[in-house]
Chain A
């Protein structure tokens, strides 16, 4: 079964991860712009990060056959850093217009401060201006309140709900999101947030409509194969194949496809690999024999 991991921070993962993901059936990923584990001290580091999301990382993914898309935003944590926040907002429009950018995100709430509100509203307006859907992160602490606040803001702004993906849901928050027209994302983590079996039980209870799952793997302890592992868990609990396929393939494509920029190729298969290719003179290889698939073209 072909799969899509619509939330994974590949910049902090290895080439082994890319190879294992492709092997397990993951054809495409969305990498949301987020924080780096420590606060950035100036706007320029965001700019280089944004450039790497549309440049080197996209190239690196393609070297393993995976289609890489990304979302761009000032993340909720750093919305609270006055040294960078407004500067990043000023920088964003130019990056929001890049080809592989398929949403504004992740925006949302961390500490639920007035600053987070301000930049949430500004970035929802940017999404409107540049015709993009939005990916909204919900907080780890006080999650239910954070989700309610998110939904209230989306409604106040009169933002089209089918263009909103509210992420990191759990048993408490999913019913709230499903009452709206928003998509509901779930991050399947080794120990926190949500696990495979709980996720499969949620699908048994609520069905697959507007349900999305992801690994949210980043630089912490995480598992980039959580989407395929959750597919197994859903099968074990008797979720039908079409329902599973809807969740791990059709739903993310329908959601991010609303950007008009989700280029899945003619066949939506893995990209043909050509590891002879270079990105600005740089290769992912370190002396290995390049893998070249049938149909790989040297540019």
Chain B
């Protein structure tokens, strides 16, 4: 694999190989799309689904990458490696390998299917992988739409420890994401690089929310103050 997707996939797979259970690895290697092979979409989603059971329960609990592996992942563009379970890395590698062999116009459809037809874990993994994929701005609608999910794990896969929203969301969507984080009591520290996207409208929304909470005699999340203080 010579492309950047291919190189990234290799970097992720190096960590997966070091931590994955043997039979699961053997199985995965049969399904990882290869540049010289036929891409079978149905089979691909079988492997994408199966990565959960085969890697998650076996190893997620005690998956702790070594310091050298963390820096290798960062060098490969994984900005918050700690947010990735082993099965998330496997699924990111599968998506990277697929985008490496598919024509660019098919990438969005493939990732959409992974998110829309997957179970919660599959959605989370695909959304965590977005910023690693080629030309990631193309997935912005999918990411915005996923933030509307009432499943908190899906929302947090985009909103928390993920560089994608700060890098690609338009202001209105980014503000909605921050407000939903406040509403669902997610610490703002987990919203990657939110300070760089702070803006007057967000400060206004946070201020209104604060007033509403006070009027109702309820506590005010401390993060509202930081939004107002750091508003440029």
Q: List 15 A-B contacts (CB under 8 A).
A: A89-B42, A92-B42, A92-B46, A93-B42, A94-B42, A94-B48, A94-B117, A97-B47, A97-B49, A97-B50, A97-B53, A98-B49, A129-B43, A130-B50, A131-B27
Tell whether, in the assembled complex, residue A90 and residue B41 are in contact, meaning their CB atoms are under 8 Å apart: yes
Checking A94, A129, A131 against B45 with a beta-carbon cut-off of 8 angstroms, the contacting residue is A94
CB distance from A37 to the nearest CB of B (A): 27
Q: Which 9 A-B pairs have the closest CB atoms?
A: A93-B46, A97-B50, A90-B42, A97-B49, A94-B45, A94-B49, A93-B43, A93-B42, A97-B46
The size bracket of the interface on B is 10 to 19
- Indicate whether A91 reaches chain B with its CB closer than 8 angstroms: yes
CB distance from B24 to the nearest CB of A (A): 10
CB distance from A119 to the nearest CB of B (A): 13
Instruction: Count chain A CB atoms within 10 A of each CB in B27, B30, B46 and give the residue with the most.
Output: B46
Checking A94, A99, A261 against B46 with a beta-carbon cut-off of 8 angstroms, the contacting residue is A94
CB distance from B138 to the nearest CB of A (A): 23
Q: A97-B47, A99-B53, A131-B27 are in contact. List 16 more A-B contacts (CB 8 A).
A: A89-B42, A90-B42, A92-B42, A93-B43, A93-B44, A93-B45, A93-B46, A94-B42, A94-B45, A97-B46, A97-B49, A97-B53, A126-B46, A129-B31, A129-B43, A130-B50
Tell whether, in the assembled complex, residue B46 and residue A96 are in contact, meaning their CB atoms are under 8 Å apart: yes
Which B residues between 35 and 57 are near A, CB-CB below 8 angstroms?
Answer: 41-50, 52-53
Chain A residues positioned under 8 Å from B27 (CB to CB): 131
Instruction: Count chain B CB atoms within 10 A of each CB in A92, A93, A96 and give the residue with the most.
Output: A93
Nearest A-chain residue to B57, judged by Cβ: A99
Contact pattern, B 48-83, Cβ under 8 Å of A = 1, otherwise 0: 111011000000000000000000000000000000
Which residues of A line the B interface, CB within 8 A?
Answer: 89-94, 96-99, 126, 129-131, 261
Chain B residues positioned under 8 Å from A129 (CB to CB): 30-31, 43, 46
* Cα distance, A93 to B50, chains bound together (Å): 9
Tell whether, in the assembled complex, residue A93 and residue B49 are in contact, meaning their CB atoms are under 8 Å apart: yes
* Cα distance, A89 to B46, chains bound together (Å): 11
* Cα distance, A131 to B50, chains bound together (Å): 11
* Contact (A130, B46) CB under 8 Å given A94-B117, A97-B53, A99-B53: yes
CB distance from A28 to the nearest CB of B (A): 20
CB distance from B14 to the nearest CB of A (A): 24
* Cα distance, A99 to B119, chains bound together (Å): 12
* Cα distance, A99 to B53, chains bound together (Å): 7
Nearest A-chain residue to B31, judged by Cβ: A129
Chain B residues positioned under 8 Å from A91 (CB to CB): 42
